[in-house]
Amino acid sequence: MFEAVKQKIEAEIITLVSQNQHLITDFVGQKASGLVNDDAAMTNFASKLYAMLPLMLRSVVSQDTFTSFVLDNRQRLIAAITAATQAPNERKP
């Protein structure tokens, strides 16, 4: 059950990132590898993403819970976000 919720949240994050690339350029590509181990930067990233979540999701998931999710799943999220924001010709097969 929780895995399905995690997957839905991750999918929502990827959608938000794709739609708002200009707001989170510091968290993708080469910069992401340096930021992924920086708790303060990841917390800031989670805060930006949380503010963009649909109201319905924010009413169910607290900001602290969301931030914990982002911190706990940072490697997977950064990899997915980086892949989602690459130009089609830059993506690995």
Judge whether 92 lies within some domain.
no
Rounded Cα gap, residues 27 and 69, in angstroms: 16
User: For 27-79, what is each residue's pLDDT tens digit?
Assistant: 555 566 667 788 898 898 889 888 888 888 888 889 999 999 888 888 887 77
Tell whether 76 is covered by a domain.
Answer: yes
93 in a structural domain: no
pLDDT in tens, 18-30: 776 666 665 555 5
Q: Would you say residue 78 lies in a domain? A: yes
Spatial CB neighbours of 62, under 8 Å, sequence gap ≥ 6: none
The number of folded domains in the chain is: 1
Q: What is the pLDDT of residue 68?
A: 92
Q: Per the domain annotation, does 90 fall within a domain?
A: no
What pTM was computed for the model? Answer: 0.61
Positive or negative torsion for Cα 65, 40, 47, 4: negative
With contact defined as beta carbons under 8 Å apart, do 24 and 78 qualify?
no
CB 46 within 8 A of CB 66: yes
Identify the pLDDT of residue 41. Answer: 83
Lowest average pLDDT, out of 9-18, 33-42, 79-88, goes to 79-88
**Domain range enclosing 23:** 2-85
Q: What's the distance, CA 26 to chain centroid?
A: 12
